[in-house]
Amino acid sequence: MKRWLSAEEARKYLDLPSTIYLDNYAKGGELVVKRSGGEVMFSRDELDRWKKERRIFPLDKRDYTKCLHYAIGSLYKYCSIFGCATRNSAELAKVVDSFMVHKLGEAAFQKFMDEKFKVIIKFDVEFHEAVVSQEIAEIALPGKWFRVYNPPEKIGLSVKAIEMRESWLIVPEHEVENRRHHPLIDVYVVVRVGLPSDHLFRVLGEITQSRLGVKLEETTLSHFNYLEADIGILSDEIMIPQLEDVQAEIVGYAWLSELLDAGVQPGVPDHKVQPGYYLPTGKLRRGDVEWEKLIELI
């Protein structure tokens, strides 16, 4: 069995969608690599270590539905405040996705704290104009007989949700500057969320299947005559995959002071990226001991 793998071999070994994921994780310092003749090589032992240390939490359709309800409700309020006349459907879908990713990240962090440390966390569910993660509103620590929910007194904790292929904690400059004089100690938790880009279409497909009486285990919709008659589409079936559990990974956390030490990084005007504080995921605190230290401060 080969000890060193090419990027493509490592991708298959870890069952990742693209080598871009591996490249980003290596740049973020999560994976140690070596170069051989200009090619990046991955140690099988290193891949096994990284895979073993990952904290993956699947979010089922109940979790998804709750987050979708919040996202659509937030979009409705967002549009009522700022107006949607100048926004097309693609822009509105991006707003829904932004709300969804953040709320799914918070749901995954809640599961992680409950299942791993028996700590129950509640987040603020009120609508806020800014599409950002919100701080925890209440917390209940383990108790023998009952739980008492109280707002955290010593710490301000926010979840930052990123895509599965990303490897940086990025906090806008203005957010950090507003928090640096905050009376509480601030900490940012990073959660990767693997939300499919076509999740809304999958949900609509399942609704259509239900309305048409198609069995859920079927993966296609039957031939629609009106498609041929009205649009001229000649197809016997339309493939619509079902929405599976959304995978979320608890990557780690960083203190506000660690972001300040990293300093402000310039933005990229061409990509509409604003200046902010950047911290690679490889520098995040992630072990059980680190999490226990955090819980002691809550």
Whether residue 56 has pLDDT greater than 60:
yes
Phi-psi domain of 59 (left: phi exceeds 0; alpha: psi -120 through 50; beta: other): beta
Residue 36's H or E segment, with its range, is strand 33-36
Q: State how far the Cα of 122 lies from the Cα of 136, in Å rounded to an integer.
A: 6
How many independent structural domains does the chain possess?
Answer: 3
pLDDT at res. 108:
97
Q: Is 224 found in the same domain as 171? A: no
The number of C-alpha atoms within 13 Å of 112 and in the hemisphere containing its C-beta is 27
Q: State how far the Cα of 13 lies from the Cα of 18, in Å rounded to an integer.
A: 12
Mean of pLDDT over the chain: 82
Q: Is 216 found in the same domain as 129? A: no
Query: Which of these ranges, 1-15, 115-129, 181-195, 273-287, has the smallest mean pLDDT?
Result: 115-129
Q: Is 282 found in the same domain as 151? A: yes
pLDDT band at 219 (very low <50, low <70, confident <90, very high): very low
Q: Is 168 found in the same domain as 49? A: no
Kindly list the distances between the CA atom of residue 152 and the CA atoms of 169, 249, 271, in Å, as whole numbers in the listed order: 23, 24, 37
Q: 185-196: buried (b, 16+ CB within 10 Å) or exposed (e) per residue?
A: ebbbbbbbbbbe
Query: Which of these ranges, 91-95, 123-127, 137-141, has the smallest mean pLDDT?
Result: 123-127
Identify the residue whose tokens are 């599976």.
Answer: 244
Q: Is 98 found in the same domain as 188? A: yes
Q: Is 104 found in the same domain as 224? A: no
Give, in degrees to the nearest 5, the angle at Cα 287 between 9 and 54: 30
Query: Which of these ranges, 87-91, 137-141, 143-147, 292-296, has the smallest mean pLDDT?
Result: 143-147
3-state SS class at 249: strand
Give, in degrees to the nearest 5, the angle at Cα 30 between 21 and 258: 120
Confidence (pTM):
0.84
Q: Is 235 found in the same domain as 124? A: no
Task: Please name the residues in contact with 245: beta carbons below 8 A apart, sequence gap of 6 or more.
Answer: 58, 59, 60, 61
Share of the chain above pLDDT 90, in %: 45
What domain range includes position 20?
4-53
Which residue type, as a one-letter code, is found at position 270? Answer: D
In this structure, what token pair is assigned to residue 142?
A: 């383990």
Q: Is 115 found in the same domain as 138? A: yes
Question: What pairs with residue 279 in β-bridges?
Answer: 169
Highest mean predicted confidence (pLDDT) among 124-128, 199-203, 212-216, 249-253: 249-253
Identify the residue whose tokens are 């599961």.
Answer: 111
pLDDT at res. 122:
87
Closest by Cα among 298, 18, 28, 10 to 162:
28
pLDDT at res. 190:
97
Q: Is 101 found in the same domain as 183? A: yes
pLDDT band at 205 (very low <50, low <70, confident <90, very high): confident
Q: Is 82 found in the same domain as 40? A: no
Closest by Cα among 271, 78, 286 to 169:
286
- Cα 88 to chain centroid, rounded: 25
Mean pLDDT of the region 195-199: 91
Whether residue 202 has pLDDT greater than 60:
yes
Highest mean predicted confidence (pLDDT) among 28-32, 84-88, 223-227, 263-267: 28-32
pLDDT at res. 37:
80
Q: Is 273 found in the same domain as 255? A: yes
Identify the residue whose tokens are 């009486």.
Answer: 213
- For 278, other C-beta atoms within 10 Å of its C-beta total 15
CB 156 within 8 A of CB 184: yes
Identify the residue whose tokens are 């197809």.
Answer: 235
pLDDT at res. 215:
52
pLDDT band at 216 (very low <50, low <70, confident <90, very high): very low
pLDDT, tens digit (0-9, with 9 covering 90-100), for 128-185:
555 445 678 788 877 655 566 677 777 888 899 999 999 999 998 888 888 777 767 7
pLDDT at res. 128:
56
Whether residue 227 has pLDDT greater than 60:
no
Strands 155-163 and 185-194: parallel
Closest by Cα among 61, 38, 48, 59 to 14:
48
Q: Is 117 found in the same domain as 36? A: no
